[in-house]
Structure 1
Amino acid sequence: MRIGVCPGSFDPVTNGHIDIFSRASNMFDLVIVAVFHNPNKKPLFTMQERVEMLNMAVKDIPNIKVDSFSGLLNDYVRRQNSNFIIRGLRALSDFEYEFQRALLIKKIDPQMETIFMMTSSEYSFISSSGIKELAKFGGPISEFVPECLQDKIIKRIREKS
């Protein structure tokens, strides 16, 4: 069984993320969307909430499993019986950052492979932080996040503002 792991903070998940998950699901028998704890970020949603939101957003993609973890990514991927990391890219700046991370992981775990997937052009400008900022100022987010999550995101933004 070919298993790919797509890690991220997904705070919140966007249609760009869903695009990557969906396309990756055509390449692997199982795609594990793994929410990780990033101590450098202050998330809008708890890890448990992000897992729940992801489960709602990917419920129609049969070969996706949502999980969460903290610690080293390559250790997590190995525990999932995989050596494939899936990373979505929007722009050249994403590539530079992700390329450095991929090389570091490859150095400490030579069997690990990182697969870069370019987002579809219609989602190339969408980021979780951009969605949060747009929602904070009352902008429309309906085109950018799964419909089933829109109210939850807007409600949380209003609570925090």
Structure 2
Amino acid sequence: MTDGKPIALPQIPPAGSGSTGPWYAGGLRFACTQCGNCCTGGPGFVWLTYADMLRIAKFLDMPLDKFTGQYVRRLPEGFSLTERRNYDCIFLRRENGKAMCGIYPVRPMQCRTWPFWNQNLKSPHSWDLAADRCPGMKAAEGPVHALEHIEACRNHPESP
């Protein structure tokens, strides 16, 4: 718990199952608050698949080679979006006090699966640590994401 508000719902195992499942079996609340914290901070990587690059280039109405030349850096581990000098995501836009993704409908899978990443789901403590930077993970009014959705994000091959 942080700020006196629960962020994980109680676990309710299936009757007679004898198993409680993961600590988040009852679901987790999350609602994006458009704070932009996940798109800012120190240097980092937003990993891209080839499918991500094709989708984003099409959305921006750019040939793939122009998109990759302008927005993608090739690293030994793969491809990542470039960052601004202050390390903000290149597609982060600030409007009316909100942080907005300029490519939200086609954002990379890494962004689509936040905050349900392995590193955040290891324990309630790891969830709380991530929630210290992400107010949406503490949002009492946020929707409850079911175990099935959480696991689909966590286990997606392109999720960190």
**Structure having the larger proportion of residues in helix:** 1
Q: TM-score, normalised by structure 2?
A: 0.25
Q: Which has the larger radius of gyration?
A: 2
Q: TM-score, normalised by structure 1?
A: 0.25
Q: With CA pairs under 8 Å and 6+ residues apart, which has the higher RCO, 1 or 2?
A: 2
